[in-house]
Structure 1
Amino acid sequence: MRIERLGDLGTAPAVLRALGYAAARRGISPPAALIGDWFASRAVIAPSVAITPVVASAVFDVAAGGSGGAVGGGWFGYLSYPDAGADGTGPRIPEAAGGWSDCVLRQDRDGRWWYESLSGAAVSEWVTDALGTEVAPRRCEVVWDEADRDAHGRGVAACLDAIAAGEVYQACVCTQFRGRVTGAPLDFFVDAVARTSPARAAYVAGDWGAVASLSPELFLRRRGEEIASSPIKGTLPRYADPRALRASAKEVAENIMIVDLVRNDLGRVAITGSVTVPELLAVRPAPGVWHLVSTVTARVDTAVPMSTVLDATFPPASVTGTPKTRARQLLRGWEPDRRGIYCGTVGLASPVAGTELNVAIRTVEFDASGNAVLGVGGGITADSDPEHEWQECLHKAAPITGSGARPQDRVVELTP
């Protein structure tokens, strides 16, 4: 593998913009990017990668790497949430897509940039030129329609009835904002990441459209035998006192139920006795909100293919419910529309560094015709109030749609 230090190239959004504009000028495939907290780095960017439709069973099908430091390259892509909505319509973009990049630009935690190539190839001349060329940002605007409040309310009410009847203990009921795009999805993503700094941001694009994920949540991290998942359950708007999360019986119960579900999912493929919970009910900031976050870890034999791991764990526990199978069945009738990439996963499988996948929440799906879809939702328990749940959806959407933010929003760091 070839590794070259590139030094200070600027912020990850600026580097992604420069590469995206240069790729477009040359008529080649756009970049793919992971920005935030990925592979112990601030950013991992493939300068140009063809992201094409694939069958769902083929996503992230790379041997489990495990070394630290370099990433080198690998398979960038996404996998959509698999279930249809009540209207029964098909996918708006491919259900799964991805592609292989032999090289990446990686920004380490100290802000230094590195060029890494699995094959040992040198940096392409066009990449060097792009990184040395200052580019002016271009505007991308999405005009969003209002989400269907009544439909969401009916879904929450149906979920509460199902909980009272003992069919489920908890389920994640979602709604959608739809919009029309003027400009390029890359510019939307670059601007949103620069404004909100999400922990698990990811961008992939192709002729079919684009996925711009501003997620705060880790679905799976797999390095060698070690695997981890950090489900998010429990939310308050950023202007609220974050300590109220741990004081809320509803939010705590919601998180613990999902932790148990993640433990069960990982236990289906883990080495017996290896499933642990090293972090429980930590309060973490995310764009526009505070979250309760827990972490579940396990050991999985490296011979177990990623397809088997995904069969056991996907879709992510935090966006389904308990029990998982029944919750998914009911959600297909409660939610009018197919979720699509929302509540699926985006990430990278590297033969060197392993696999890291987000939970595709706070994620916008762009099709090739200029349409945008943003899904938001929340976990419903027996203590849920429908009005509160609707407001939670608005708080989650506000940093992306630009609506509903309050002037007293503030940032307060709280250690777990």
Structure 2
Amino acid sequence: MRLVRRVLGTDIAPEHALPRLAASAASRGVAPPAALCGEWFGSRAVVVPSLSLTPVSDPAEAFAIPARLPEIRDAAPGAVGGGWFGYLGYDLTDPSGRSGALPPAAWGWADHVLRWDNDGQCWLEALVPDDAADPADLLSTVESALALDGLTATWSAGPMNLPLASTHHHAVKSCVHAIEAGELFQANICCRFTGEFSGSAPALFAEGVRRLAPRRAAHLAGSWGSIVSLSPELFLARHGRSVRSTPIKGTLPRRGPADDGNAQRLRESTKDVAENVMITDLVRNDLGRVCTVGSVTVPELLAVRPAPGVWHLESTVEGELAGGLSDADLLAATFPPGSVTGAPKIRSLDLIAELEASGRGVYTGAIGCASPIAGLELNVAIRTFEIHRDTIALGVGGGITADSDAEAEWQECLHKSAPLTRLLATPPR
């Protein structure tokens, strides 16, 4: 196969293109669009005008699909071209066997994408057979969709229903007791907010990207529902044989664009630093299972970075994928992400299943793309809405250590969810 690229003369922001593409897809009776916005493959956004996603329930198959990539010739630097777009839900590896309203995983192949580079230029990129003509019809279809105007796509949502604070308190205290008993060092304990939703998920995504500027935003949709992920966190990036993960662990509220002092408090917090260091070590171990011996390093430890409504501690772990191994092996060794499970990971998975009142669904899984040109990039599916029929769900949680206070952990859930619940409650007029 070969790569064909064309420049599109549009100044539409990628998030604003999504509702137009959704309307065009609906009018033509084809599958809805998908989008990755923020920092993906060295670009501002990668958007698929129409993507048919197939549900997958077997973990081995879900890990194997994105590794099935064709050879591409004439691949230009910086291009994505197409690939497997989809998600791996936490449900794939929930030892309790619970499942949410959405499929445990779903993948779809895209043979063309729109890519916005860091200068704001939009490219139509397509993967075509060597003996096929350039897809001129794609260009006209996409240009017609982007030219749609007067769209008033929006949404409405009822107030989110929160679990009782006492329920989360009990789960946190039980986790602390397990840590004190020596069963594990840390676990991520979460809860689920739910509410009513009607209207346009692409419009919700577009407005979320505009207001919150998440680094790893993703939108997927199918007959089963929609995912609106406004995540700040990178789970995995593989470019060539180089692999990188950037776990987030450690959080304090952020009150406005100026430094409110909490950034420094976070870096000096014994509890938050311990959270991050333990998970960084876990990620080192996970990558060490599939990377060349001696190649796994931590080039950045305990960096403080802003996210919507909060400060986070981030670290970066890098390695070189060992020869003969594929993305399927990489995913099998590292999923679900360490930052949203705990250490040791297996005991954390079991304890999460014991203490959390409901399954996590897509939340704390991973969303992204595997491209035969650009490699693999997946976010951690946090700050993520899951929409099914007329309901919407939002998972929130945090890392629990021996020093955790139950009320402080509940407040952390509220701090993390606040920007998203405000977004949901205030659609554009």
| TM-score interval (norm. to shorter) | over 0.9
Amino acid at match of 2:346: T
1:184 CA displacement = 2.1
Q: Please identify, of 146-155 and 65-74, the stretch whose mean Cα deviation from structure 2 is larger.
A: 65-74
Residue 278 of structure 1: aligned partner: 299
1:33 CA displacement = 0.4
User: For the Cα contact (< 8 Å) 1:213–1:364, is it kept in 2?
Assistant: yes
In the alignment, does 2:55 pair up with 1:53?
yes
Which residues of 2 match residues 12-411 of structure 1 at below 5 A? Answer: 12-54=14-56, 55-59=58-62, 60-63=66-69, 68-81=77-90, 82-84=92-94, 89-119=98-128, 120-122=134-136, 123-143=138-158, 144-239=160-255, 240-241=260-261, 242-301=263-322, 303-367=324-388, 369-402=389-422
1:245 CA displacement = 1.1
Amino acid at match of 2:144: D
1:186 CA displacement = 1.7
Amino acid at match of 1:387: E
1:116 CA displacement = 0.5
Change (3 A) 1:99 1:270: same
Amino acid at match of 1:237: P
- Compute the TM-score of the two structures, normalised by the length of structure 1: 0.93
In the alignment, does 2:4 pair up with 1:2?
yes
Amino acid at match of 1:58: E
Pairs aligned (count): 403
1:106 CA displacement = 0.5
Q: Please identify, of 306-315 and 226-235, the stretch whose mean Cα deviation from structure 2 is larger.
A: 306-315
- Compute the TM-score of the two structures, normalised by the length of structure 2: 0.90
3-state DSSP of counterpart to 1:271: coil
Q: Please identify, of 132-141 and 236-245, the stretch whose mean Cα deviation from structure 2 is larger.
A: 132-141
Identity in percent: 50
In the alignment, the residues of structure 2 paired with residue 131 and residue 404 of structure 1 have an alpha-carbon distance, to the nearest angstrom, of 25
In the alignment, the residues of structure 2 paired with residue 95 and residue 216 of structure 1 have an alpha-carbon distance, to the nearest angstrom, of 22
1:142 CA displacement = 2.3
Large movers: runs of 4+ above 6 Å: 64-67
Residue 131 of structure 2: aligned partner: none
Q: Deviations over 1:16-45 (max 9, x none)?
A: 121111111111101110000000000000
CA RMSD in angstroms, aligned pairs only: 1.9
Change (3 A) 1:78 1:302: farther
Q: Please identify, of 57-66 and 192-201, the stretch whose mean Cα deviation from structure 2 is larger.
A: 57-66
Amino acid at match of 1:288: G
In the alignment, the residues of structure 2 paired with residue 125 and residue 57 of structure 1 have an alpha-carbon distance, to the nearest angstrom, of 39
User: For the Cα contact (< 8 Å) 1:64–1:355, is it kept in 2?
Assistant: no
In the alignment, the residues of structure 2 paired with residue 215 and residue 74 of structure 1 have an alpha-carbon distance, to the nearest angstrom, of 21
Amino acid at match of 2:85: F
In the alignment, the residues of structure 1 paired with residue 161 and residue 104 of structure 2 have an alpha-carbon distance, to the nearest angstrom, of 24
Q: Which runs of 5+ in 2 are unaligned?
A: 129-133
User: For the Cα contact (< 8 Å) 1:235–1:251, is it kept in 2?
Assistant: yes
User: For the Cα contact (< 8 Å) 2:153–2:203, is it kept in 1?
Assistant: yes
In the alignment, the residues of structure 2 paired with residue 68 and residue 404 of structure 1 have an alpha-carbon distance, to the nearest angstrom, of 38
3-state DSSP of counterpart to 1:274: coil
Amino acid at match of 2:81: G
User: For the Cα contact (< 8 Å) 1:62–1:350, is it kept in 2?
Assistant: no
Q: Which runs of 5+ in 1 are unaligned?
A: 406-416
In the alignment, the residues of structure 1 paired with residue 94 and residue 297 of structure 2 have an alpha-carbon distance, to the nearest angstrom, of 33
User: For the Cα contact (< 8 Å) 2:304–2:312, is it kept in 1?
Assistant: yes
Change (3 A) 1:180 1:249: same
Change (3 A) 1:89 1:259: closer
Q: Please identify, of 247-256 and 75-84, the stretch whose mean Cα deviation from structure 2 is larger.
A: 75-84
In the alignment, the residues of structure 1 paired with residue 95 and residue 319 of structure 2 have an alpha-carbon distance, to the nearest angstrom, of 33
Q: Deviations over 1:226-283 (max 9, x none)?
A: 0000000011111142111111111111100000000000000001100000111111
1:296 CA displacement = 0.1
3-state DSSP of counterpart to 2:172: helix
3-state DSSP of counterpart to 1:402: helix
Q: Deviations over 1:320-350 (max 9, x none)?
A: 1111111111110100100010000000000
1:89 CA displacement = 4.2
User: For the Cα contact (< 8 Å) 2:35–2:220, is it kept in 1?
Assistant: yes
In the alignment, the residues of structure 1 paired with residue 215 and residue 281 of structure 2 have an alpha-carbon distance, to the nearest angstrom, of 24
